[in-house]
Structures are given as C-alpha cells and as structure tokens.
C-alpha cells in the first residue's frame, strides 16, 4: 500500500460535482486542448481531487470550471496538478492545487458605460 505525505493546506469536503477541465500548459509550453467532463471526489479551499479519463502529469496547468446545478460558480480558474495516479478501473485520480482565479467577465452594458 502506497502512502502519500500529507500536503493539504485546508480541510477536504467529500463532494461529487461535475467539473470541466482542459490542459493549458505542459512542460511550460502552452497547449490548446478540448474541454473534458469529469466528477470531483472531494474539494477544499485550496484544491480538488477529480476522476479523469485523461492522464495528467505532475506540474501540468489545467483550466477548471466547477459549477453546481448549472448556476452557481464554485470555481472558475487554473490549477496545478500535484498528483495523478491510475485507479483499478483505468481512470486517473487527479489532485489539483488552485493557482489563479480567472477574472469575472463584466457584462457588455457595464463595459459600454465605462467607456463614456
């Protein structure tokens, strides 16, 4: 049995929520990959663990969109892969630490008013 050194910055909550993810940087090179769907296993204030059909590598930067019930943004930003391991079913458990939040888009009406 393999044990991992405890590296969490905050307490995890077991939550199963749909997450969209895509690779944006591998070996410090930009990548333009397609969005994939997965489910989270658990989440915390500093990161999340999700199950992916795709393999990611430690250090990869991925873009994440976690939305509850299609309305409530839980997280929308980037994460760094800190661990990835294959389970018995052939899927990958991917542990991600949040690295940057994306700025919220301002509505077009607000943008036009700010230009005057």
| pLDDT tens per residue across span 9-66 | 666 667 778 899 999 999 999 998 999 999 999 988 889 999 999 999 999 999 999 8
| Model pTM score | 0.74
Q: What is the fold of 18-114?
A: Thrombin, subunit H (2.40.10)
Mean pLDDT across the chain: 80
The full set of domain ranges for the chain reads: 18-114
Taking the C-alpha atoms of residue 29 and residue 111, their distance in angstroms, rounded to an integer, is: 32
CA-to-CA separations, 61 to 18, 38, 79, 87, in angstroms, rounded: 19, 16, 6, 21
The token duo for 82 is 């800190």
Taking the C-alpha atoms of residue 99 and residue 105, their distance in angstroms, rounded to an integer, is: 19
| Cβ atoms of residues 19 and 35 within 8 Å | no
Res 12: pLDDT: 66
Res 49: pLDDT: 94
59-75: average pLDDT: 84
């Amino acid at each position: 049995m393999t044990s991992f050194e405890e590296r969490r910055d905050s307490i995890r909550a077991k939550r199963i929520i749909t997450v969209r993810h895509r690779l944006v940087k591998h070996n410090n090179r930009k990548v333009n990959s397609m969005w994939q769907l997965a489910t989270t296993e658990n989440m915390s204030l500093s990161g999340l663990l999700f199950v992916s059909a795709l393999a990611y590598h430690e250090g990869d930067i991925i873009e994440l969109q976690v939305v509850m019930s299609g309305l409530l943004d839980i997280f929308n930003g980037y994460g760094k892969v800190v661990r990835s391991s294959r389970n018995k079913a052939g899927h990958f458990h991917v542990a991600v630490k949040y690295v940057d939040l994306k700025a919220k888009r301002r509505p077009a009406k607000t943008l036009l008013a700010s230009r005057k």
